[in-house]
Amino acid sequence: MMLYMLNVTKDDDGSLLVTCPAFPEVTTFAEDVAHVPLRAAAAIEEAMAARIHDGDDLPPAGTDEKFRRAKGRYWVKLSTMTTLKALLYMALRESGVTRAALARQLHWHREQVDRLFRLDHASKVDQLEAAFGALHRSVDVRVHEMA
């Protein structure tokens, strides 16, 4: 799970201004508190996609649910697919392996590998697992009861 802290302030027109300290380029608005997570997640995913496209680092995220419950703070949890793709991108950069080398190792076409890093593409989990495996990583999924 990837969580990012948000700053939410009331704007002059009654809407909420939403920014994310980890992504200075993220600025969005929400009609009310209920819409903050949806708007923030979309803006953060757009910023992530741009950083991945440009080959830039992604900022670390909070991963512990207890941070989400901090009083007076807003947090947004990214989708599981976005989290997997972001973590794969971070693992690839950390390993120093290129996308072309990953494609050769997996015996895939380069475009198949590139799609794993496109946040707007519905990749298959088994493909993501194979890519993590090629980078000597494993995927662990947990389901928690909601509080």
pLDDT score for 24 = 97
CATH architecture of 3-77: 2-Layer Sandwich (3.30)
Looking at residue 62, what DSSP letter applies?
Answer: B
* pLDDT, position 66: 61
Rounded to 10 deg, the angle between the 80-95 and 36-54 helix axes is 30
Distance CA(80)–CA(147), nearest Å, equals 19
Longest dimension (CA), the chain: 55
Q: What is the mean pLDDT of each run of 10 residues along the chain (147 residues)?
A: 93 93 96 95 98 97 68 86 97 97 98 98 97 97 82
| Residue ranges with strand state E in the chain | 3-10, 16-20, 23-30, 74-77
Query: Hey, where are the domains in the chain?
Result: 3-77, 80-134
Q: What is the pLDDT of residue 67?
A: 64
Contact 119, 49 (CB under 8 A): yes
Q: Left (φ > 0), alpha (ψ -120 to 50) or beta: where does 11 sit? A: beta
Q: What's the pLDDT score for residue 29?
A: 96
